[in-house]
Structures are given as C-alpha cells and as structure tokens.
C-alpha cells in the first residue's frame, strides 16, 4: 500500500509521460508495494486533474473482459478506466500518431446508456435494461509505460491504458414504454409488435 504522497508522485509521473510523449519505467519498479487500490487512486488523481482543467467524463471503458486476458495479467476480474470528452475522436478525421507514446487500436462494442446503473450489485440484466443502444466502437489504447511492460497495477493507474475512442453510428432502437423497468430479457419475451432490440455478444 502506498502513501498519499507516493500516489500523487506516481500520478505526476504518468501525467508527465503523457504530456511529453515520453514513456516511463513500470510503476511497479519505482513503487514495489503498489496494489490495485493504489492504482485506482492514482488513476483518479489524474482524472480529477483533467476535470479541473475542463475535461468531462463521458463514460467508462472495461478492460480485461475475457478470461484469457485475465489469466495473462494474473487477475480474476476486469479493470476499468475513464473516457473523457477530449479523448473522443472522429471517424472522418486522421489521428496524429505522434501525439501518443505507443498507440494501438482495438475493436470494441459500445453500450450507450439511457439510464444510470445501480452501482454495487449491478447485474448484466441491469446493464441491458439501462442500455439505449449498442454501437460499434474503436478504442485507441496507449501505454505511458515503456515498451508496454505492464502489470495490472501499471495499466489501472494509467487509466486502463486508454487514450481515445471512436463511437460508431447505429440506429436508435424502438423506445421502451414509459416506466418500463423490466430487465431486457423480459422485454425481449414480450409479444412482437415491430423491430426489437438485440443483444450484442
């Protein structure tokens, strides 16, 4: 477990690496005692710093969602990072790779929410019930850790290695009846009266 001062120092190292496009050594080398709790606090330090400078949180990314990737990183659950408005990219505008340290692109599925999620105890049914539409998406990932030599603590602290995103276009599904809070599975079993929402897998 790190001290608050060490967390601030680690956050500043990542911030400087991003601003200067100069990757740093893994945080786990400078701070051998760092754990996931420290890493999320470091991530939040930098998110708060960006919000104070005018950024706005638009959503979140979920990483390590597959069992294969979790085994590779030695964890048993996904991690997450923040998606800010100034990270959003346009599909019709070239991206200057020199802005980033070690950029890569990943194909993703985006869930655009129409309602807030309940938080602790949230279930897949809650997510589907709150989802307004599902869209194709691209994530620009970038590690501020040199040569992508990351552990789970390194990537969490580094905003889950997120740097940008593109949200694709998708048709808006038929709106559910006002006040219909049933889980999506139940809504799909309702008698068909036109186009219905499909679950992306």
**What CATH code is carried by the domain that includes residue 160?**
3.90.850.10
Q: Rounded to the nearest 5 degrees, what angle is found at the Cα of 93, between the Cα atoms of 92 and 99? A: 150
- On whether residue 177 sits in a domain, the answer given is no
* Per-residue model confidence (pLDDT) at position 159: 97
**What's the full length of the chain, in residues?**
201
The domain total for the chain is 1
- On whether residue 197 sits in a domain, the answer given is no
What is the average pLDDT score of the chain? 85
Query: Per-residue confidence at 199, pLDDT binned at 50, 70, 90?
Result: very low
pTM here is 0.80
- Residue 40's φ and ψ, nearest 5 degrees, are -65, -35
pLDDT for residue 131 is more than 60: yes
* Per-residue model confidence (pLDDT) at position 73: 78
Range of the domain at 75: 4-171
Q: CA neighbours within 13 Å on the CB side: how many for 56? A: 3
Q: Do 12 and 157 touch, CB atoms closer than 8 A?
A: no
pLDDT digits (tens, 9 = 90+) for 48-79: 999 999 999 999 999 887 888 788 877 778 88
* Per-residue model confidence (pLDDT) at position 142: 97
């Amino acid at each position: 477990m790190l001290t608050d001062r060490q967390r601030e120092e680690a956050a500043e190292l990542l911030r400087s690496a991003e601003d200067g496009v100069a990757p740093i050594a893994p945080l786990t080398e400078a701070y051998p005692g760092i754990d996931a709790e420290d890493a999320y606090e470091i991530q939040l330090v930098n998110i708060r710093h960006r919000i104070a400078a005018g950024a706005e949180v638009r959503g979140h990314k979920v990483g390590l969602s597959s069992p294969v990737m979790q085994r590779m990183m030695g964890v048993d659950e996904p991690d997450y990072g923040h998606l800010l408005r100034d990270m959003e990219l346009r599909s019709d505008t070239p991206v200057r790779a020199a802005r980033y340290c070690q950029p890569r692109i990943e194909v993703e599925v985006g869930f655009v929410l129409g309602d807030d999620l309940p938080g602790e105890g949230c279930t897949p049914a809650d997510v589907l019930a709150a989802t307004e539409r599902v869209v194709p998406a691209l994530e620009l990932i970038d590690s501020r850790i040199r040569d992508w030599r990351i552990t789970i603590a390194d990537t969490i602290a580094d905003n889950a290695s997120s740097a940008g995103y593109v949200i694709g276009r998708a048709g808006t599904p038929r709106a559910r009846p006002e006040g219909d809070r049933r889980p999506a599975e139940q809504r799909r079993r309702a008698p068909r009266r036109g186009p219905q929402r499909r679950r992306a897998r």
